[in-house]
Amino acid sequence: MKNPHVKTRDLLTVMDLTPDEILSIFRFARKLKRDYKKGIHRNYMKNRSLAMIFEKSSTRTRVSFEAGMTQLGGHALFLSGADIQLGRGETVEDTARVLSRYVQGVMIRTFEHDKVESLARHAGIPVINGLTDSHHPCQALTDYFTIYERNRDIRPVKMTYIGDGNNVANSLIQTAALLGSSISVAAPIKFQPEASIIDSAMAVARQTGASIEITDDVERAVAGANYLYTDVWTSMGQEKETARRKKIFAGYRITSTLLKEAAPGCLVMHCLPAHRGEEIDEDVIESGQSIVFDQAENRLHVQKAIICALLGHGPKFGSLLHHFR
């Protein structure tokens, strides 16, 4: 077994993975999901612990990581930013060094992406980004796994994301680029994804054959879409902008009328929580074309695969996943 204080791989952004590694995670997640449905639990994480630092509130991230570690035979520790010393002035560097002596991995959900990068630099154990203001890799991987369940070959698939070019949009663009798929993001000009994210994804897309479009024209973006995706218009920490954002994003809502403009059989996605009647209409999220709750369920299984890949016993990334290449 490897020395627990020897640095291993992190998942800070989707770009930390190769396309083959993403597909290996998908195949392993599919196996874990099948086992779960049969009541089979593998003790891949026996005697291993995951520290979970939360400086932002959470439902899906906390429950899925905590339940996932339990199902893998391990243990998850919930560490609120208000309770641990990190919230009282202890440095990120010292927190990283201390946790590295106690547990086998850290998942953090916070605001500034720099904090996650600093934690990873100083930790001797894997760090998983559970969400920052710039990236949400676990969500994007889950979303494309949800598509993978329906379309084994993701390359011909077109996803259209409508709304705020936020952390979820950033990670979706990166995942599409790596997998050679097509994505169109429709957002108001001043709310489009970060230029650095787009540029890096475009560079990858030139190698993989992916298609990336950024526009403020919703109808153009929706044409030919196999999946329509949206997220809240106001993310955590932006609450003071709510009224202003509602006016700006009024034309960026998934409605049943808009859904008809997409490809036949188009399915609807949302990472939740949803503000029904704002970014998505009630009749759409409750329709037969909605796979929103399949996405939510799949956070559990994809994150279990990620945990196994990063916290596994082998010296190479994802030793357990090599069987699923």
pLDDT at position 8:
67
Active-site residue, 271 included:
yes
As separate numbers, helices (DSSP H) first and strands (DSSP E) second, the chain gives 12, 9
Model pLDDT, residue 149: 97
Amino acid 7: pLDDT: 57
Active-site residue identified among 30, 48, 122, 136:
136
Identify the band that residue 37 occupies on the pLDDT scale cut at 50, 70 and 90. Answer: very high
Question: Among the options 104, 139, 192, 295, which is catalytic?
Answer: 139
Instruction: Evaluate if residue 167 carries a pLDDT over 80.
Output: yes
CATH of the domain at 254: 3.40.50.1370
Please tell me the predicted confidence (pLDDT) of residue 82.
79
How sure is the predictor about 152, in pLDDT bands with cuts at 50, 70 and 90?
A: confident
Asked if 139 is an active-site residue, the reply is yes
pLDDT at 283: 97
Helices of type H across the chain? 19-37, 60-71, 92-100, 113-122, 137-148, 167-179, 195-208, 218-222, 242-248, 256-259, 282-285, 292-311
Q: Are residues 175 and 55 in the same domain?
A: no
Is 235 or 131 the better-scoring residue by pLDDT?
131
Residue given tokens 């409750």 in the structure block: 286
Contact 171, 13 (CB under 8 A): yes
Q: H or E stretch including 77?
A: strand 75-80
* 29 Ramachandran zone, left/alpha/beta (phi>0; psi -120 to 50): alpha
Return the structure tokens found at 113: 């992406």
Q: Are residues 253 and 303 in the same domain?
A: no
In a domain, 189, yes or no: yes
Residue-level pLDDT at 313:
56
Domain hosting 103: range is: 14-136+299-324
The model's pTM is 0.93
287 and 305 in a common domain: no
For the cut 80, the answer to whether the pLDDT of residue 125 exceeds it is: yes
Catalytic residue list contains 299: yes
Q: Which position among 299, 301, 303, 308 bears the catalytic label?
A: 299
Indicate which residue of 138, 266, 271, 308 is catalytic.
271
